[in-house]
């Protein structure tokens, strides 16, 4: 019989197709097995006894896949809920571009001019909408909250209503936004109170917590009417920022000597029905890993961008002011944003390749897999601890940790520094989780204290030396002008173990923070899995290939570097 190599009808391309088909079949079989694992301690234990740690890995990755599929399954519903927030984005973006903002500007950079800065505010709304469509409340709340801070600071500058010493931010915002000289929509709640609810979510408490459980644990459920009402609170915060952006744009137009145009801008409707949506929302929302940039996805983004430019061009050539938002404008505006976000992600990947002298795709994929496994394990532990009243705070902390880590990685892939703000939430909540494990009495006191701070959890966890790391991440969770993201980035750079000798360290500070946080979460998840008195902790360590001693040494090294540089100024 002739060998296969001698068969002229079977070439390398055919071999590659056959290999891909075989890999897909293997992947499908693993997915089916993973979906068959009950999401209970007993179900995971049984799977471990029958298939070993491979069964645990398949179960966790299957949960991640189901989470991504749900985004598509409920996509039409969530688009109808959230896309109306983008009703004014095309018209206001058009105005910002008339004032000088670049039409293909990066989505994550505030820019050198006032027009660019306002355009960044509009892009921030789209970034939050993307996370809401992905049912990720922590990331969306971080962006909505920082935007409220940023534009409140602008209001304060223009009205001299500064925050008084000792005045909490929510009280100040209520006073500021209710000032007679400040634009305020017909709003049913105080703006500062809304800000406070978003802030409470960062600390794993408050009325928005059901959204976290929907994201982290209830992975096949569609949002209920109660969930929709809670999502609308984040939307309200975004609309408030849009209202101030509209005012700023109208003022800038008037300053150019075009009062009639300014009046038209001030009259742009902020929220209107959106009845145009994509049937397959996933590619528009899913994380932009290197494998995400295939031709169909890119074409979808290009179509959205072209639709945006077509609408803007029509307004220009008609020689009239932007019309009130049409029903399809939100989707075109969102497509324009996602195309530019994709360009940013590709640019960041190319930059890594140039700086590191190698293809970073495998490193990025490994980071994504490790993050997915850590987030899913945290979510499973939250689910198992949820019904124990004594461990409910731990369950809340792990659920928020799962959601925040996911948002952090998704934003990091697009080079968005607000990923670090999400990590700030991760660090606080995993410290809270650890405190309950190693010092439960002290943890209980912190829970009941009305004056407790995130720093209390860091110290109770035995991580006092991590203070600089925690403070640097915390800068990215705030949008006021007092927050200095540049200094915070510099701090993350010097916390790397090779910062003094690695010529590329200036480019990898945030990536190091992501990977360090994933390791910290993984280490704590393994320890909590041990608490069930089962082999699950051992199995999870095998899945993520983690040795406790090595992990502890890495974390110890980070704490030592943070302690040595504890005097670093961030303001």
Tens digits of residue pLDDT in 453-464: 889 999 999 999
Asked if 308 and 384 sit in the same domain, the reply is: no
Residue 59 lies in a domain: no
Residues 347 and 366 both lie in one domain: no
pLDDT in tens, 135-167: 999 999 999 999 999 999 999 998 888 889 989
At 359, is the pLDDT very low, low, confident or very high (cuts 50, 70, 90)? low
Residue 531 has which token pair? Answer: 């608490």
Answer whether residue 327 shows pLDDT above 50: yes
Closest Cα to residue 289, out of 213, 379, 364? Answer: 364
Q: What average pLDDT does the segment 496-506 reach? A: 85
Backbone angles phi, psi at 487, to 5 degrees: -65, -35
108 and 197 share a domain? Answer: yes
What does the alpha-carbon distance between residue 482 and residue 153 come to, in Å, rounded to a whole number?
9
pLDDT tens sequence across 417-448: 999 999 999 999 999 999 999 999 999 999 99
Of 300, 326, 351, the residue at which a domain comes to its end is: 351
Indicate if the pLDDT at residue 88 is higher than 70. Answer: yes
Query: How many domains is the chain built from?
Result: 2
Query: Residues 126-133: what's their mean pLDDT?
Result: 97
Structure pTM? 0.90
- pLDDT digits over 367-403, tens only? 999 999 999 999 999 999 998 999 999 999 999 999 9
- Asked if 518 and 370 sit in the same domain, the reply is yes
Share of the chain above pLDDT 90, in %: 60
Q: Which of 351, 369, 388 is the last residue of a domain?
A: 351
Domain shared by 329 and 404, yes or no: no
Range of the domain at 343: 67-351
Q: Which stretches within 439-495 are classed as H helix?
A: 440-448, 454-460, 467-475, 485-494
**Does 133 have pLDDT greater than 80?**
yes
pLDDT for the residue 302: 66
Looking at residue 6, its pLDDT comes to: 43
CA distance 201 to 209: 6
For the chain, give the number of residues: 571
| 253 and 345 fall within a common domain | yes
Let me know: does 81 contact 274? Beta carbons within 8 Å: no
| pLDDT exceeds cutoff 50 at 271 | yes
333 and 440 inside one domain? no
Q: What is the mean pLDDT of the chain?
A: 87
Asked whether residue 24 is domain-assigned, the answer is no
The alpha carbons of the chain give a radius of gyration, in whole angstroms, of: 24
Judge whether 104 lies within some domain.
yes
The answer to whether 204 and 216 have CB atoms below 8 angstroms apart is no
Among the residue ranges 50-64, 239-253, 404-418, 498-512, the one predicted with the least confidence is: 498-512
Q: Is the pLDDT of residue 209 over 70?
A: yes
């Amino acid at each position: 019989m002739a060998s296969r190599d001698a068969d002229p009808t079977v070439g390398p391309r055919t071999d590659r197709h056959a290999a891909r088909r075989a890999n897909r079949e293997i992947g499908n079989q693993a997915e089916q097995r993973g979906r068959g694992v009950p999401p209970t301690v007993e179900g995971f234990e049984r799977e471990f006894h029958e298939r070993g740690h491979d069964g645990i890995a398949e179960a966790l990755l299957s949960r991640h896949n189901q989470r991504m599929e749900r985004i598509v399954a409920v996509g039409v519903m969530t688009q109808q809920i959230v896309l109306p927030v983008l009703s004014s984005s095309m018209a206001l973006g058009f105005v910002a571009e008339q004032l000088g903002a670049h039409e293909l500007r990066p989505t994550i950079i505030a820019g050198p001019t006032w027009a660019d800065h306002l355009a960044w505010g509009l892009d921030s709304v789209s970034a939050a909408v993307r996370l809401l469509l992905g049912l990720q409340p922590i990331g969306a709340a971080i962006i909505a909250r920082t935007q409220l801070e940023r534009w409140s600071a602008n209001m304060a500058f223009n009205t001299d209503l500064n925050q008084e010493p000792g005045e909490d931010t929510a009280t100040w915002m209520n006073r500021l936004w209710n000032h007679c000289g400040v634009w305020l929509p017909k709003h049913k709640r105080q703006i500062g109170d809304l800000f406070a609810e978003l802030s409470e979510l960062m600390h794993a408490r408050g009325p928005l917590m059901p959204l976290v459980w929907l994201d982290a644990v209830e992975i096949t459920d569609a949002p209920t009417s109660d969930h929709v009402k809670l999502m609308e609170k984040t939307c309200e915060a975004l609309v408030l920022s849009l209202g101030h952006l509209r005012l700023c744009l109208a003022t800038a137009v008037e300053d150019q000597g075009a009062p009639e145009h300014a009046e038209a801008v001030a009259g742009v409707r902020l929220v209107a029905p959106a009845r145009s949506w994509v049937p397959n929302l996933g590619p528009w929302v899913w994380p932009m890993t290197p494998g995400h940039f295939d031709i169909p996805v890119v074409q979808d983004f290009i179509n959205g961008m072209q639709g945006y430019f077509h609408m803007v061009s029509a307004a220009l050539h008609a020689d009239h002011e932007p019309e009130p938002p049409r029903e399809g404008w939100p989707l075109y505006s969102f497509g324009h944003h996602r195309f530019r976000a994709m360009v940013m992600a590709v640019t960041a990947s190319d930059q890594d390749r140039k700086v590191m002298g190698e293809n970073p795709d495998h490193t990025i994929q490994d980071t994504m897999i490790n993050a997915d496994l850590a987030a899913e394990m945290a979510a499973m532990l939250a689910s198992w601890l949820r019904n124990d009243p004594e461990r409910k705070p731990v369950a809340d902390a792990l659920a928020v940790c799962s959601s925040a880590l996911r948002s952090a990685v998704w934003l990091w892939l697009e080079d968005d520094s607000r990923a670090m703000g999400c990590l700030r939430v991760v660090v606080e909540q995993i410290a809270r989780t650890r405190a309950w494990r190693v010092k439960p009495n002290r943890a209980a006191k912190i829970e009941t204290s009305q004056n407790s701070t995130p720093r209390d959890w860091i110290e109770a966890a035995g991580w006092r030396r991590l203070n600089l790391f925690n403070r640097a991440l915390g800068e990215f969770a705030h949008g006021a002008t007092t927050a200095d993201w540049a200094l915070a980035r510099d701090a993350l750079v010097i916390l790397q173990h090779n910062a003094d000798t690695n010529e590329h360290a200036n480019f990898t500070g945030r990536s190091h923070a992501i990977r360090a946080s994933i390791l910290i979460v993984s280490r704590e998840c393994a320890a909590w899995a041990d608490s069930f008195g089962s082999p699950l902790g051992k199995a999870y360590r095998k899945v993520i290939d983690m040795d406790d001693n090595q992990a502890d040494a890495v974390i110890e090294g980070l704490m030592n570097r943070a302690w040595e540089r504890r005097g670093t100024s961030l303001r």
